[in-house]
Amino acid sequence: MILQKENKILRAIAKPVANFRASGLKELISEMAEAMFKEPDGIGIAAPQIGESLRVFLVSAEVKRIDSGEPHDASKKKSKDFLVFINPQIKKFSAKKSKDVEGCLSVRGFYGEVTRPEKLNVEYFDETGKKHSRGASGLFARVVQHEIDHLNGVLFIDKAKNVKKLKDA
C-alpha cells in the first residue's frame, strides 16, 4: 500500500541504510518494486512511500525508455527493470533548469509544474553496498530529484505551480 500525503512518515527525514547485509533490505526493495509496478504510471518510488523511513529509492527502466524518445507505455513495464539508489547524494546540479509536469503515487490525482535543474550527478550505493556515481538528465534527472525529495520529507506539491486535480480522481 502506498501512503498518501497526509501520512507523517512522508514528512520525516529518512535514515541512511547502515547495514547492507540486513535481511530486510532485499525484501524492502522487492516490496517497493511490486508497489511501483502495480501502478500504471509508477516510474519511481521511495521507501517512505511504503512506510519505511530509509534512504532508498527505485527508478523504473521505463524512465530511460521515455528519455530515449519512446512513448510511455504501461504494458512495457512488464519487464520490471529498475535501478536501486541507496543513501544517494547529489554532487552537482546544472545551472540550467527545466519545467515539467509531475505527479506522485502519494499525491494521487494531482499534477503540477515543477522547475528543477536539468542535469545532475548523483552518488549512491546499490543493494550490495557498492558505491556508484552517475550523471542524469531529462526525465531521469527529474525523477532522481523527486525521489530524493521524498527522503527529505518533501512532496512535489510543496514546490509545484499550477497544481491541478484530475477530474476522475
Binding site for Co ion (CB under 5 A): 104
Least Å from the CB of residue 156 to Co ion: 6
Q: Identify the bridge partners of residue 5 per DSSP, sorted by sequence position.
A: none
Is 147 annotated in the active site? yes
- Least distance between Co ion and beta carbon 129 (Å): 26
Residue closer to Co ion by CB (options 51, 129) is 51
Alpha-carbon separation of residue 142 from 13, 18, 78, 94, 115 (angstroms)? 20, 26, 23, 12, 9
Q: What SS3 class is residue 159?
A: coil
Nearer to Co ion (CB atom), residue 57 or residue 124: 57
Residue from 80, 18, 2, 90 nearest 55 by CA: 18
Residue 27 CB, nearest approach to Co ion (Å): 21
Helix, strand, or coil (residue 167): coil
Q: Residue 50 or 104: which CB sits closer to Co ion?
A: 104
Residue nearest to Co ion (CB): 104
Q: Which amino acids are annotated catalytic?
A: 147
